[in-house]
Structure 1
Amino acid sequence: MMEMESIPGAALVNTVKGGFHESFSSPDADVVLGAKDHTLFRIHSWTLKTTSGWFRSLFSMPQQSPLPNHPETINLDEDSYTLESLLLMVCGLPINPLTSYDEVDALLFAAEKYEMAGPVSLIRVLIMTPPLLNQPLRLYAAATRCGWEEEAKHASAQSLALNIYAPEHQPTLRKLCTGAVLDLINLHRDRREGIRKRLDEQPFVTASTMASCPRCRWKIDHHTWRELKYKVVMEMDVRPLGDTVVDVGLMDWPEAIACWDAKCPNVECTCVLYDKVETLRLIRDCIDSLPKTT
C-alpha cells in the first residue's frame, strides 16, 4: 500500500463512491482521481507521470497492486471543474475556455501544486486574450506571481487607465507581493509627478516667469494657468494614462476654457495670454514621454 500521509493534498481510499466524469471514464485507465465534490476521473498513470512532477513522485513510492478493474481512488483538494480543466490540458483534449480570474487562479494554483508545466504555459497564453485581457490588475497579479515579465509590463501599462487607489481595487492589490504593488504604485505616482514637474518648467509659465502681458507689459495674474495645472495633475492622479487630459479635459474643463479665454486686463490691449494649440501640443508631448510600464 503506498504511503499517502507524507504528501499533502491527497488521500487514498479503496472504494469508488461518486459518478465518473463523462470525458474521463475509460475502463482501461488505471488511476481514479476524486474531486472534492465527489466527481471521479479515470486516467492513465502514464499520462500523470509524464506531465506532473507531483504524480511522478507519488507513483515512485512502493505500492500494492490494486485488484483488477478496481483501481484505488486518489482524492484531491480541487473541485471538479478545476480538475476537469487541468486534465483536459494534460491529455491534449479541447480545453475549457477561461472566462474569469477566479478560474485562472484556481487552475494556476493546482497546476503549480502538481508541478504541471504544460497547463501553466497554456494559462500564460490564455490570460493575454479577452475577456481576461480586460482585467489588468488581475492579470498583473497573476503575471508577477508567476514571474511573467512581458505580461506584467503589459498589465501595468493597461492599469494606467484605472484609479488603483479606488476601494474596488484594494482586494486585488492586497494579493500582490510587496515588490509588485510598490512597482505599480511607483509607476502611477511617477506619471503624476512627472507631469507636475514638467508643467513647472519652461516653456510653460513658471514661478520665475514675469507676471506681465507679453505685448503691453501690463501686470497680470496667471491664476487661470495655475488652476488648470492643478486640474491636470489631479486628473493624472486618478487616471495616469492621461487620455482624459488631452482628449477631453483641455478642451472642455471649466479651468481649461477659463485659461484659453484669459486676456490682458488692459482694455487697450486684451492680448490672449496663452497659446491654446501650442500648449495642448506641449502637454501631449509631456504625457507621451512619461514612463509607461513597471
Structure 2
Amino acid sequence: MAAESSIIAHVPTYHPLFSDPAADTNLRSTEGTLFRVPAFVLRRTAGYFAATLPATADAEPVPLDEPAALLARMLSMLCGLPPPDPPLDFDAAEAILALAERWDAPGAAARVRDMITGPVFLAEPPAPVRRCLRIASRGTLTLFLYDEIHNELLRRLPTRDLMALLGLHRRRRDTLDRMLSGENAEGINPAAVAGRCTVCELQVDNYLWREYRARIFAEMDTRPMGDTVIGSAVDEWREALACWSAKCTGPECGKLIYDKDVILPEIKACIDKLPDTV
C-alpha cells in the first residue's frame, strides 16, 4: 500500500491549459506543476529559450524558478491563448513585466503595457496606480494625452501622478528638440545639420533644418514615443523632402547639403537616449 501511495504521489500534474501531448517541451514550476509548450513557440517569443532550450526535445522537464500562476499567465501570452483567471491586476502585471525582462520576451512586455494603460487599470484606486505608474508611463508614449478622449480617465489620477506623466511627455519633446539643435553634447552631430556644404564649405541659410526640427517637435508633442519621427511616413513630410533635396548653390558644386542617410540614424540615436518612464 505504501508503494502504491508513493507511485501516485509522483504522477506528474500538468496545468490544464498546457497539457497537450503534442507539445514537445515540458516546463516545471517551483511547485512542480508541468507545462507542455511547443519548443518553436518558446524560441520564437523569448530570447531566453532561444539560447537555452536543447536542439531536440528533452524527456526531462525544464525546471524554472517561477510559480505556476505566473507561468500560466506568461505562457498564455507567448502562445496567444486567452489569459487565465483571475483578471490581470497590477501585482500580476509587475510580475509578468519582470519575467518578460528576464526571458527577453518583448512581445509579452508590450502586451502588458498596453493593458495597464487601459480604462480598467486607470480606474484602479490611487495607491496601485502610483505603484505602477513608472511601468504604465512607458505605455502612454503612443498617446496624445491632451486629446479630450482621455480626460475622464486622467481625472482619476492624483494630481502629482498626472503632472509626472505630462512632464515625461513634455520632457521627451523638449529634450529631443535641444538634442537636434546641434548645440547639445549628447545630441546630433553639429556638422550634419550646420547648413554648410562639405565640399566647398559654402554656408547657407539653415532655415530648412529649423523647419524640419519644428515638424519633429510638433510630432513629438502628439506622439512622444518618437517612432513616427523616424518611420517611413517621414518621407512624405514637406519639411523632410525640402531638406533632402537642398543643394549647395556654390559655383559648379550642387552637392546635397543634408545627408538623409546620416541624419536619420542620428535622430534615432537621440530618441533612444530619451527618458521613457516617470
- TM-score band (shorter)? 0.5 to 0.7
SS, match of residue 147 in structure 1: helix
Report whether the alignment pairs 1:186 with 2:167.
yes
> 1:140 and 1:260, CA in 2 relative to 1: closer, same or farther beyond 3 A?
farther
2:89: which partner in 1? Answer: 123
The residue correspondences of 1:16-55 to structure 2 (distance < 5 A) are: none
Measure, in 1, the Cα distance between the counterparts of 2:203 and 2:268: 29
Alpha carbons 1:161, 1:240 under 8 Å: kept:
yes
Q: Of 245, 252, 255, which aligns to 2:239?
A: 255
Q: Of 186, 190, 202, which aligns to 1:204?
A: 190
Report whether the alignment pairs 1:285 with 2:269.
yes
The unaligned stretches of length 5 or more in structure 2 are: 1-83, 97-110, 184-188
Q: Of 252, 259, 267, which aligns to 1:275?
A: 259
Q: Could you give the per-residue CA deviations for residues 1-44 of structure 1, whole angstroms, max 9, x where no partner exists?
A: xxxxxxxxxxxxxxxxxxxxxxxxxxxxxxxxxxxxxxxxxxxx
Alpha carbons 2:143, 2:223 under 8 Å: kept:
yes
1:199 deviates by 0.7
Name the Cα RMSD after superposition: 3.1
Q: Of 230, 245, 250, which aligns to 1:246?
A: 230
| Number of residue-to-residue matches in the alignment | 175
2:71: which partner in 1? Answer: none
In our comparison, the structure showing a higher alpha carbon Rg is 1
Alpha carbons 2:93, 2:116 under 8 Å: kept:
no
Measure, in 2, the Cα distance between the counterparts of 1:166 and 1:205: 37
1:14: which partner in 2? Answer: none
Q: Of 136, 139, 145, which aligns to 2:126?
A: 145
State the AA in 1 paired with 2:254. Answer: T
1:255 deviates by 1.2
1:213: which partner in 2? Answer: 197
> 1:182 and 1:137, CA in 2 relative to 1: closer, same or farther beyond 3 A?
farther
The residue correspondences of 1:153-172 to structure 2 (distance < 5 A) are: 153-172=134-153
Alpha carbons 1:132, 1:139 under 8 Å: kept:
no
State the AA in 2 paired with 1:190. Answer: R
> 1:189 and 1:163, CA in 2 relative to 1: closer, same or farther beyond 3 A?
same
> 1:161 and 1:133, CA in 2 relative to 1: closer, same or farther beyond 3 A?
closer
1:163 deviates by 0.2
1:136 deviates by 1.1
> 1:220 and 1:132, CA in 2 relative to 1: closer, same or farther beyond 3 A?
closer
The residue correspondences of 1:228-247 to structure 2 (distance < 5 A) are: 228-247=212-231
State the AA in 1 paired with 2:190. Answer: F
1:225 deviates by 1.0
> 1:160 and 1:140, CA in 2 relative to 1: closer, same or farther beyond 3 A?
farther
SS, match of residue 240 in structure 1: coil
1:226: which partner in 2? Answer: 210
Percent sequence identity is 33
1:200 deviates by 1.0
SS, match of residue 235 in structure 2: helix
1:142 deviates by 4.8
Q: Could you give the per-residue CA deviations for residues 82-122 of structure 1, whole angstroms, max 9, x where no partner exists?
A: xxxxxxxxxxxxx9765xxxxxxxxxxxxxxxxxxxxxxx7
Measure, in 2, the Cα distance between the counterparts of 1:219 and 1:292: 37
State the AA in 2 paired with 1:283. Answer: I
Alpha carbons 2:246, 2:257 under 8 Å: kept:
yes
1:64: which partner in 2? Answer: none
Measure, in 2, the Cα distance between the counterparts of 1:157 and 1:265: 45
Q: Could you give the per-residue CA deviations for residues 40-84 of structure 1, whole angstroms, max 9, x where no partner exists?
A: xxxxxxxxxxxxxxxxxxxxxxxxxxxxxxxxxxxxxxxxxxxxx
1:151 deviates by 3.1
Report whether the alignment pairs 1:195 with 2:176.
yes
1:83: which partner in 2? Answer: none
So what's the TM-score if we normalise by structure 2?
0.55
Measure, in 1, the Cα distance between the counterparts of 2:159 and 2:215: 31
The unaligned stretches of length 5 or more in structure 1 are: 1-94, 99-121
Q: Could you give the per-residue CA deviations for residues 136-186 of structure 1, whole angstroms, max 9, x where no partner exists?
A: 154663567123666322211000000001010111111111111011001
Alpha carbons 1:200, 1:206 under 8 Å: kept:
no
Name the structure with the higher helix share: 2
> 1:193 and 1:137, CA in 2 relative to 1: closer, same or farther beyond 3 A?
farther
> 1:138 and 1:253, CA in 2 relative to 1: closer, same or farther beyond 3 A?
same
